[in-house]
Structure 1
Amino acid sequence: MKRRLPSFLLLVVMVFTCSMADFSFAAENVEKERFIIIYNEEINTELIEEVGGTVYEEFHSIDAAAALLPLSAVPLLMKLPEIKAIEKDDKVSISAQKVDWGIPKIEASRAWKDAYKGKGIKIAVLDTGISRSHSDLTAAGGVSFVSYTNDYNDDHGHGSHVAGIIGAKDNEIGTVGVAPEASLYGVKVLNSSGSGNESAIIKGIEWAIEKKMDIINLSLATPNSSTAVKLVIDKAYAQGIFIVAAAGNDLTDDGQPLPVQYPAKYPSVIAVGAINEQNKRASFSAIGPELSFAAPGEFIYSTGIGNSYFTQSGTSMAAPFAAGVLALYKQANPELGTSQLRALLQKNAVDLGAAGRDKEFGFGLIHVAETIDNSVMTASDFTDIFSSAWYINELNELTKAGYIKGYSDRTFRPSLPITRAEVVTFLGRILHLNDAQRKTAFSDVRESFYASGMIQSSYEQNISAGYPDGSFHPNAPITRGEIAALVKRAFQIETSSKGNPFSDLNKSYFAYNDIISLVEQKLLSGYPDQTFHPYSAATRAEFIAILGRASSISN
C-alpha cells in the first residue's frame, strides 16, 4: 500500500509555503537537483511529488527512482520509513586521455587460430554510442538513454573507439578488434561531451539485463560510490553477466595515481588498469587492491565517429581489451559460469608486479592462453584424490568452478584439519566477496596475510567474527560446530525447529540451532553412534562436502 507523507510533515510544508510563498517547493524558481531515491520496498512516486519533486526515471530491477528535488525536501523524505537512501545522481565521465600493439600483447591470435573470435557473445558498450556508418564496425543493436536523442549513434568518438578495440571487423581495412565476431550493442548513456548521469547508467544496465547480454563494458568512472548503481550491477552479475570497467585515470596534484574509481571498485566488477608497450603501468592508471587485471592502454589505435580512426590512451582503452578476451574465453567455454571464467582469466594472466595479485596490475596482464578451451581443473587433477572418495562430487564441482585450487604440488590433502582462514576464503570465493588484501579488524591478521581481504569482508558481512580479545586466530583449526554457524549465516539457511538427534549436542551450545538447521537441509550429518562431535576439528574433505551441498541449494 502506498503511503503519503505524515500529517506533521505536510503541515511543515504548508506553513513553509504560506509564510514564504516565493520559496515553496512547487515554485519554479526553487533550485532543484538530481537525486536517486532508493526505497525499502515498492516505489512510491507520490512521496516525491508531495515535496515538490519531479520523477524523471523509475527503475524496474531495483526499488528506486530518479527525481529532481529541492534540497530542503531531502531531509523530509529521509525521515520516512519507506526510504532506504537518497543519493546524488552524480555525473559520470569518460575515463580516457590520449596500438595495434595491444592485440599481439594479449596474444589474441592464439584464440583466432582455433576459430574463437567471439561469435555469439553479446557485448553491451555503455558509452557515447557506436558509429553506425563506420566500415569497420557493425552494431547488432542499441538504445539511447540521453535526453536529446533516441539514436545510439556516436556523436563523440569515445564509444566507437572502445567498440573497435572489442570487436572491429577482421576485414583487411583499418584495424581489428580482440573479438571481431562478437555482437556489439551501443548503449548510449553519455552525451556528445562524454558525460552523463548515473541514472542513465542504471537504465543502460537494466537494458543489458533484459536483452540478456553476456558482457557489459563500462569505460567510464566516477570517484563517488552509488548504492543504486551497485545494486543493479550486482543484479546483472547474479544473472551471469560480466561487468568490465575502467579503473580510472586521474592523478593527484603531485602526480601520484589515484585509487581505483567506481564502478570498477565494486567487488562484482572486473576492474582493469592500463599498461604501456613495455609492460609498465601507465602513469595515469589508477591503483588499488580492487584492481583485477591490466591491459594495453597507451596509444591505442581504433575506430572513431563517421569512418575515422584515431589513437587514444586511458584505462577506457584497457577495459575493452579485457572485455574482448573474456568474449573469446566465453565462446570457447560456453558451459562455464562467471566464477569459472574469472578463475580462468586469473590463471592465465601474466604476472607483472609483485607475486600474485597486487595494487598496480591486479592478477597481471589479461592474456589468451595457448589453449583456451577445456582448461579448467577438476578433482581428478589432484594427485591424492581417488575417484571413489565419498566427497568426490562436491570437490569436483567446486574445483571446476574455480573455488578450490589445492596446493602447488597438485595435492588437496583432504584429511588435514581446515583452518579458519581457509574456510573464510572458500566461502568468500563462492559469495564473491572482496578478496583484496587490506587492513582488518583483527590484531593478529596483517594486511599482507593471504586471506586478509576475505577475513575482513566476511566480518563486514556478519558471516564470521573474532574473539573477545580482538584476535581471529586465522591459522587455527576450525571445529565442526563453528563451521555449521558460518555456513548457516553465509547461505542464510532457515532456522529449524526439529528435535536434537545427537547425544553429545547440548541445547546450550552456541551453534545448536545452526547444526540442527544444516542437518535438516541434509548439508551435514553426524556419526553412526548418534553423536556429532561439535568440538572436533573439521577436515578439508568434511568442509568441502558441506560447502558443495550448500552452494548447490543456494543456486
Structure 2
Amino acid sequence: MKIIRNVCLLFCTSCILLVSLFVPPSLSAQEEKRQYFISFKSQINTALIYSLGGKIVESYPDLTMILAELSAANAAKLKGDPQIEFVEQDRAIHVLPEQGTTVEREMSHLSQFNQGQVIQWGAQKVKAIEAQQEGYMGKGIKIGIIDSGIDYTHEDLSIAGGVNIIDGSANFMDDYGHGTEIAGIIGALPNHIGVLGIAPDARIYGIKVLDAKGDGHISHVVKGITWSIDHHMDIVNLSFQTKENSKALKKVIKKAYQKGLLLIGAAGNNGFNEGNTVEYPAAYKEVIAVGAINSRDERTFYSGRGKELDVMAPGASIYSTTLHHQYTMTLGTSMAAAHVSGVAALIMEAKPHLNNREIRSIVMHTASKMGERNLYGHGLVDALKAIHYPTSK
C-alpha cells in the first residue's frame, strides 16, 4: 500500500508540473495588477490602456496623466510607446522617516492647558509674535495641510474645510495626530487657552492623504495637490517624506508652483546620515525645504542636510494641538515646515500684491544666516523682517 501511495503521489506531482509548463501565455499576462502613473506627452489616450487590459483609477487632465491598474508586463510595454512620457509605479509614503521613527512623534501628551495661553518659543524665535503685534495674523490666506487630516472638533482650531483623499469623502478627521499638530503650529486660536498659532486668522484646510498609521501613497498626494490647485490654496504644507524621486509627484509639484501656490516641505529627519539627506518633495526646487533648529539656535541632529536645504525654523520641543482636545510636545522638520507656512501667511497678508515666487524670495532673503549653507540653508526665517522687506511693487 505504501508503494502504491508513493506512486500515486509521484503521478499527481508530475501532472501538476506538466500543467504548469503548458499554461498559455494569455494567463501569465494576467498576473497581479498594480497601480501605475502613466504620463502622456500630448493627450491622454484611454483606448491604449484598455487595449492592454488596464483599468483607469484616476485621471489628471491638466497633467495629461492617469493612474491605472496594469500588470507589470503590460506596464513595461507602455514604456516603449511613443505617446508615453513616463510610466511609474505608485509608491508608499510615510509621515516619518524609516529610521528613528520616535523622532517626530510626541514624547508626552499634555492635558489641556487651563492656565492661560502658552506663547511658545518657536513663534517668538521666528518673530511671529512681533508681526502679530503689528496687526498681521494671516487673515484671508488659504493654507492646505496635506497630511493625516485635522481634528476639526478641537476648540483651539478653526478649520475652513477639507477633503479625505483616501476614501473620497468630505470627512477629513485626523486619526493619527500629525496633521492636527501641524494645524496648531500654524493657526491655533488667540482664545486664552492652549497655544497660539503663528497665523491664527489664516483659512486652514485639512487634506487627508495619510491613514491612522501615517501611511499613504504618492497617488493620494498627487490628488491632494490637484485638489489644492482646484480650490485655490495660497500655501501648501507638505510634512511627509520619501527617499525616492517620483516623476508623478514632481510633475504635479511643478504644476502647482506654476499655478501660483507656495509650497513648503519638511527637509526630513535623516540628517544624522552623511551626504545630502533632504528628502522629497522638499528636495524639489519648487518647494521651500525647511530644516529644524532647537531653542539654542542649534541645528538638530536629525535635520535634513544638503544643497537643497533652503531655510531653518524651530523644530524641537514644540507644543501644539493634538487629537481628542489635547495638546502635545513634538519635534521634527515637519514642525519646522509648519512654522514657515505660518510665517509665509503673514508675509502674504502684508504683501498681497506679490506672487508665490516673490514671497519665496523674501523668505530666503530675510532669513538670518546661521552657518554652513548645506546645514542651515539661508538661515532662520524672520517674519518681522520679511513683512517690512522693501519691494518695488
State TM-score, norm by structure 1: 0.61
Q: Tell me, yes or no, if structure 1 residue 325 matches structure 2 residue 343.
A: yes
Mapped partners of 1:104, 1:158: distance in 2: 22
Tell me, yes or no, if the aligned pair for 2:29 and 2:73 is still in contact at 8 Å. no
Mapped partners of 1:156, 1:106: distance in 2: 27
**Which residue of structure 2 lines up, in the alignment, with residue 163 of structure 1?**
183
Q: Tell me, yes or no, if structure 1 residue 214 matches structure 2 residue 234.
A: yes
SS of match in other structure, 2:130:
helix
Consecutive unaligned residues of structure 2, counting only runs of 5 or more, are 1-21, 97-102, 106-118
* Residue type at the aligned position of 2:79: M
Which of residues 17, 24, 28 in structure 2 aligns to 1:23? Answer: 28
Mapped partners of 1:60, 1:146: distance in 2: 20
**Which residue of structure 1 lines up, in the alignment, with residue 17 of structure 2?**
none
Q: Tell me, yes or no, if structure 1 residue 139 matches structure 2 residue 159.
A: yes
* Residue type at the aligned position of 1:372: I
* Residue type at the aligned position of 2:299: R
Deviations 1:111-160 (CA, angstroms, capped at 9, x unpaired) = 11111000010000000001021001111010111038541111110000
SS of match in other structure, 2:66:
strand
**Bigger strand share:** 2
Q: Tell me, yes or no, if structure 1 residue 97 matches structure 2 residue 82.
A: no
Mapped partners of 1:83, 1:318: distance in 2: 38
**Are the structure 2 counterparts of residues 257 and 316 from structure 1 closer, same or farther at C-alpha, using a change threshold of 3 Å?**
farther
Cα RMSD, aligned residues only: 2.0
Report the Cα offset of residue 376 of structure 1. 1.8
* Residue type at the aligned position of 1:362: G
**Are the structure 2 counterparts of residues 323 and 164 from structure 1 closer, same or farther at C-alpha, using a change threshold of 3 Å?**
same
* Residue type at the aligned position of 2:376: F
* Residue type at the aligned position of 2:52: V
**Which residue of structure 2 lines up, in the alignment, with residue 60 of structure 1?**
61
Tell me, yes or no, if the aligned pair for 2:209 and 2:221 is still in contact at 8 Å. yes
**Are the structure 2 counterparts of residues 361 and 106 from structure 1 closer, same or farther at C-alpha, using a change threshold of 3 Å?**
same
Deviations 1:88-119 (CA, angstroms, capped at 9, x unpaired) = 21112114624922111111112111110000
Consecutive unaligned residues of structure 1, counting only runs of 5 or more, are 1-16, 379-399, 401-555
**Are the structure 2 counterparts of residues 258 and 193 from structure 1 closer, same or farther at C-alpha, using a change threshold of 3 Å?**
farther
Tell me, yes or no, if the aligned pair for 2:29 and 2:71 is still in contact at 8 Å. no
**Which residue of structure 2 lines up, in the alignment, with residue 489 of structure 1?**
none
Report the Cα offset of residue 206 of structure 1. 1.0
* Residue type at the aligned position of 1:233: I
* Residue type at the aligned position of 1:246: A
1:435-454 alignment to 2 at 5 Å?
none
**Which residue of structure 2 lines up, in the alignment, with residue 545 of structure 1?**
none
**Are the structure 2 counterparts of residues 142 and 168 from structure 1 closer, same or farther at C-alpha, using a change threshold of 3 Å?**
same
Report the Cα offset of residue 228 of structure 1. 1.8
Tell me, yes or no, if the aligned pair for 1:108 and 1:368 is still in contact at 8 Å. yes
**Are the structure 2 counterparts of residues 53 and 371 from structure 1 closer, same or farther at C-alpha, using a change threshold of 3 Å?**
closer
**Are the structure 2 counterparts of residues 32 and 111 from structure 1 closer, same or farther at C-alpha, using a change threshold of 3 Å?**
same
1:285-434 alignment to 2 at 5 Å?
285-354=303-372, 358-369=373-384, 372-373=387-388, 375-378=389-392
Mapped partners of 2:263, 2:32: distance in 1: 36
Structure 1 runs of 4+ aligned residues shifted over 6 Å read none
Report the Cα offset of residue 330 of structure 1. 0.5
Tell me, yes or no, if the aligned pair for 1:127 and 1:218 is still in contact at 8 Å. yes
Report the Cα offset of residue 18 of structure 1. 7.7
**Are the structure 2 counterparts of residues 150 and 339 from structure 1 closer, same or farther at C-alpha, using a change threshold of 3 Å?**
closer
Tell me, yes or no, if the aligned pair for 2:366 and 2:385 is still in contact at 8 Å. no
* Residue type at the aligned position of 1:323: S
**Which residue of structure 1 lines up, in the alignment, with residue 133 of structure 2?**
113
Q: Which has the higher contact order (CA 8 A, sep 6+)?
A: 2
